[in-house]
Amino acid sequence: MGTTIQILAAFLFTLGLLTVIVRRNSIILLMGIELMLNAANLSLVGFSQYLSQVNGQVQVFFVITIAAAESAIGLSILVNIYRNFSTINTDHTVTLKG
């Protein structure tokens, strides 16, 4: 049972990583990051259940909090980018480079 959960978590993490690497739409990039964080949560809960400890489940609460903050800040940045550039594609926002 524990191995199945870890394989599913690895698959979800790989899917999120491929989404971040391949896609250029900023909203899809945020969804890929969220998918990777959820895969890490699934892995933590799987190990926590396998080892019969609560430490992994406590860490999941912190990761969920960080993911919520990342979503709020990321979406507010995307709103500002859309106001300035009229697009949310990362290819068209090259003037943001230092």
**What does the pLDDT look like over 37-96, one tens digit per residue?**
999 999 999 998 888 888 888 999 998 998 899 889 988 988 888 888 888 887 777 666
Please tell me the pTM assigned to this model.
Answer: 0.82
Structural domain of 60: 2-96
- The domain tally of the chain equals 1
Tell me what pLDDT residue 96 has. 62
CATH code where residue 54 lies: 1.10.287.3510
Average pLDDT, integer, range 24-43: 91
Q: For residue 43, what pLDDT is reported? A: 93
Residues 1-14 have a mean pLDDT of 89
| 20 touches 36 (CB < 8 A) | yes
